Amino acid sequence: MAKVGLVSLGCPKNLVDSEHMLGILLKRGFEIVPSMKEADIIIVNTCAFIESAQQESIDTILDIIKNKGKKRLCVTGCLVSLFKDELLKRIPQIDAIINPFNIGQIEKVCQELAQFKTKIIYTGKNKKYKIQSSQRFITGPIHSAYLKIADGCNNCCSYCIIPQLRGDYTSRRIEDIIEEAKVLAQAGVKEINIVAQDTTLYGKDIYNKKMLPELLEKLSRIDKIQWIRLLYTHPAHYSNKLIDTIATNNKICKYLDIPLQHCNNRILKAMRRKVTKKDIVILIKKLRKQIPNLVLRTTFLVGFPMEGDKEFNELLEFVRNMQFDHIGAFTYSSQDNTSSANIKNMVTKKVKQKRREKLLLLQKEISEKKNKKLRNKEIIVLIDKKISAGVFQGRGQADAPEIDNVVNIKGKAEVGHFYKIKIKTTNAYELGGNVVKEKLTW
């Protein structure tokens, strides 16, 4: 059977799609290989969220084509949704394209590619592929996995093309999600990172009410799952029940990812974010009051049209006052077919970049001070990887995979297990410490 290699670009939600495609192929007898040099068929799962992501996707495809030879190339993901009518014309060396709604057809596509067929197109209308729990090939550490609970988006922020790329918000059934989580737990997963375009809206489309609290409670009853982490929550969709569930359930990480994008009311309105600055402040104060030791991550979009020095300085002051634990910052990228592309007073690329650097520098100072307070304290850490003999790297409950702090550890440990670590050194992005207690079990 043909050997398949896959390159997954973009967000964790895309990674889940990649792992499901690999799972389908593995069950059908295809061999999954880590090296593109070994592969007969190469799949590139693309991202097209912003201009830089689109360029990365195109560059990756072109790099593969340079050494393609007789290999077959399949492109899937959001770039196909965006350029489905042009992609094969612009890059004729691509042998097959599949949009995100048709990833369930990956077996048929690869079977045809193995027979050296080309110009294979699966871009049917937006009927969501139903994820099967048994069809998943985990590509990262087996102790930590992403769990996608919905796809698509209804928020229609003025700068975002996700609704065009992924369709309407579509929740998965609770039973299907729980079944997949149990399969992951049986395979060795101990940390579940919940993802969707908007996790807080979960269930509204199929149950007529937001059902994230109920889902979290059911997930927490799976014995082998110890950490449940919420990513991509929307500030407009929190409920008292959700906050209470997070506060009282010991398995739910006291960590919340809440992309805010901005704080200025005029810009929030133009972004169609459904909240005001006052709403945001009230929510953050409420969360911190009701969830002890809460860690907050957020994301800001700088250089949005109309953002002058006054609005940006307001954002800086807001970040200084709110003292977030982690921040991601992106520069505005104008997208065709979005309403923000028609707004006048665009900000220059140079100014956008300087503002991003200034915001991240401020957050670096905040993070350094926060991390310094952890010195000589003990925290529970999940070991992610071995660096060398007696040296490991992991994360505390305050840090999501790949985007937040890491903890560098000295001592005897095993990858995929929890240990109590005494923190000795800190900077803005890394902690260092020693193992003080043998492997923890619950």
pLDDT in tens, 26-56: 998 999 998 888 999 999 999 998 888 899 9
Q: Is residue 128 part of a domain?
A: no
* Judgement on whether residues 155 and 80 belong to the same structural domain of the protein: no
pLDDT in tens, 352-393: 999 999 999 999 999 999 999 999 999 999 999 999 999 999
54 and 170 belong to one structural domain: no
Assess whether 86 and 51 both reside in one domain: yes
- Domain at 100, CATH number: 3.40.50.12160
415 has a pLDDT exceeding 80: yes
253 and 161 housed in the same domain: yes
Q: Give the integer Cα–Cα distance in Å for 385 and 35.
A: 21
Q: Are residues 192 and 276 in the same domain?
A: yes
Q: Which residues lie below 8 Å from residue 234, measured CB to CB, with a gap of 6+?
A: 155, 198, 199, 200, 201, 258, 259, 274
Is 193:374 a contact under the CB 8 Å cutoff? no
Domain shared by 344 and 418, yes or no: no
Q: What is the pLDDT of residues 63-101, one digit of tens each?
A: 999 988 899 999 999 999 888 888 888 999 999 999 988
Residue 131, pLDDT score: 64
Query: Within a domain: residue 235?
Result: yes
User: What percentage of the chain reaches a pLDDT higher than 70?
Assistant: 97
pLDDT of residue 251: 96
pLDDT 10s digits, 226-240: 999 999 999 999 999
Residue 137 lies in a domain: no
- Predicted confidence at residue 36, as pLDDT, reads 87
Greater confidence (120 vs 311) lies with: 311
Sequence-ordered list of residues with C-beta below 8 angstroms from that of 38, at least 6 positions apart, any chain: 3, 5
Alpha-carbon gap, residue 50 to 429, rounded angstroms: 26
Name the β-bridge partners of 407.
394, 431
Element (H, E) at 79: helix 78-83
CATH number at residue 417: 2.40.50.140
Q: Check pLDDT > 70 for residue 126.
A: no
How many C-beta atoms lie closer than 10 Å to residue 311's C-beta? 17
Total structural domains within the chain: 3
Instruction: Report the pLDDT value the prediction gives residue 37, as an integer from 0 to 100.
Output: 87
pLDDT band at 165 (very low <50, low <70, confident <90, very high): confident
Same structural domain, 329 and 345: yes
More confident residue, 337 or 219: 219
- Whether the pLDDT of residue 135 is over 80: the answer is no
Which of 334, 356, 372 delimits the end of a domain?
372
CA distances from 431 to 362, 368, 375, 405, 413 (A): 19, 10, 9, 7, 17
- Residue 357, domain member (yes or no): yes
Which of 372, 389, 424 corresponds to the end of one domain? Answer: 372
The stretch 17-33 carries a mean pLDDT of: 93
| 118 phi and psi angles, rounded to 5 deg | -135, 175
Q: Quick check: 174 and 211 in contact, CB under 8 A? A: yes
Give yes or no for a contact between 46 and 77, defined as CB atoms under 8 angstroms apart.
Answer: yes
Examine the domain organization and report whether 419 and 368 are in the same domain.
no
Tell me whether residue 187 is in a domain. Answer: yes
Q: What percent of the chain has pLDDT over 90?
A: 78
Q: Which of the 8 DSSP states describes residue 13?
A: H
Q: Are residues 258 and 389 in the same domain?
A: no
Which residue in 281, 277, 274 sits closest to 262, CA to CA?
A: 277
* 291 pLDDT tier (thresholds 50, 70, 90): very high
Q: What is the pLDDT of residue 442?
A: 61
Q: How confident is the model at residue 132 (pLDDT cuts 50, 70, 90)?
A: low
Give the pLDDT confidence score for residue 346 in this predicted structure: 87
pLDDT value for 432: 95
Average pLDDT over residues 386-403: 94
Q: Is residue 127 part of a domain?
A: no
Average pLDDT over the chain reads 92
For 307-357, what is each residue's pLDDT tens digit?
999 999 999 999 999 999 999 999 998 887 788 878 888 899 999 999 999
Range of 94's domain?
3-122
Q: Is the pLDDT of residue 128 over 80?
A: no
Of 346, 372, 398, the domain-final residue: 372
Question: Is the predicted pLDDT of residue 129 greater than 60, yes or no?
Answer: no
222 and 332 housed in the same domain: yes
Residue 130 lies in a domain: no
pLDDT at 337 (0 to 100): 79
Pair (277, 262) in one structural domain: yes
Are 103 and 211 members of one domain? no
pLDDT at 344: 81
pLDDT mean over 169-176: 93
Contact between residue 29 and residue 163 where contact means Cβ atoms under 8 Å apart: no
Q: Does the pLDDT of residue 293 top 90, yes or no?
A: yes
- Is residue 39, in this structure, part of any structural domain at all? yes
